[in-house]
Amino acid sequence: MSITPEDVQNCFQFLLGRSAEDQAVEHFRQNCNSTEELRTLVMRSEEFHKRVLGSQFHHPISFVEHRTNQSVDVDSSAQDLEKLWDHVGRSWSQLGKEQPYFSVVTSDEYLSENIPANEEKFWSTGVHDFDRISMIFKECGLSADQFPTALEYGCGVGRASLFLSRLFKTLYALDISPNHLEIADRKAKQDGIGNICFQKVDRAGLDALPAYDLFYSRIVLQHNPPPIMHYILDRLLKNLNSGGLAIFQIPVYMDGYSFETRSYLKTAKPGMEMHVLPQSSIFKLLEVHGCQPLSIKEDGDIGHFGAWVSNTIVARKN
């Protein structure tokens, strides 16, 4: 989906209360793949936050300003890990029943009561993941035919899966929520797509995955407590074929964030959550599993200005 000059002007008028300069219009047209990305970038700007927050505005956190003393549990006992996994499973099964589309893309137009009027638009947003992977292939000098079998972790209702199936011979699409998967499978059959294998994933199942040459995950890992994120990445990297490619988005920093497993389990309630896995833990996992980083970029997938840092990481397994 291309960005039009009208898209940029409408966004500037709505968020900044002014018209966009010609240079700004051209900049955002060249650097945004969707209106969602356009909106996120404008909302991350100093001008927007000064307009909304006035004197409360804080400059975005630069990498050198990141605090290094985050206290984040990434390892847990098998018993606690099972409790965490069960909590995530219950939360997303409930979300799958109540708000299957909104839980994937948190925009009011995708609430259950609004989805009949916006369903076509919802499904079309999956093309951005197709475009992202295609761009990564181009930047890294790779091609889809080098990775015939792919695995998507956290496929939800299959919004991105339907487009990713065009890139790969076989796509395994995993999710923890049976309700999301039911919608995904029905949609794929409706569209005549036969190379996607939708599977419900549980903790034990991560050790019995089929072989795959690439794994992809975006706006998914962040909804899991750090020990679960760490466990999922550990297993996905371990089972990735030699020469395979890992592409995943993950929050690595939040100002003031900490996580202690036992305390969390005492107060955890069902619902959508946001968590962080420190970059140092990710680098250790990549090293343990013989994965060489090809690209690490800050992205706008979270959209929280300043207080959050999210990375898209691309790594190749030896």
* CA distance linking residue 120 with residue 54, whole number of Å: 38
Residue 21 confidence (pLDDT):
84
Write out the two tokens for 184. 């995904």
pLDDT band at 80 (very low <50, low <70, confident <90, very high): very high
Residue 138 CA to residue 256 CA, distance in Å, equals 37
Contact 74, 250 (CB under 8 A): no
Tell me the C-alpha distance between 125 and 134, whole Å: 15
Q: Which residues pair with 150 in a beta bridge?
A: 171, 214
* Angstrom distance (rounded) from CA 248 to CA 162: 18
Check: CB of residue 294 under 8 Å from CB of residue 140.
yes
User: What is the bridge-based pairing of β-strands 240-254 and 308-317?
Assistant: antiparallel
Amino acid at 253: Y
What is the pLDDT at residue 183?
97
DSSP 224: S
Amino acid occupying residue 280: S
Distance CA 272, CA 251 (A): 15
- Global pTM value: 0.80
Residue 52, pLDDT score: 58
Average pLDDT score over residue span 49-76: 60
Q: Which residue has the higher pLDDT, 36 or 76?
A: 76
State pLDDT tens for residues 272-307: 888 999 999 999 999 999 999 999 998 888 865 457
Domain positions in the chain: 5-57, 78-93+125-317
- The class level of CATH for 78-93+125-317 reads alpha beta
What is the structure's pLDDT at 220? 96
Convert the pLDDT of each residue in 147-179 to its tens digit.
999 999 999 999 999 999 999 999 999 999 999
Q: How confident is the model at residue 47 (pLDDT cuts 50, 70, 90)?
A: confident
What does the pLDDT look like over 219-273, one tens digit per residue? 999 999 999 999 999 999 999 999 999 999 999 998 888 999 999 999 998 888 8
The number of CA neighbours under 13 Å toward the Cβ of 19 is: 5
| pLDDT over 50 (residue 43) | yes
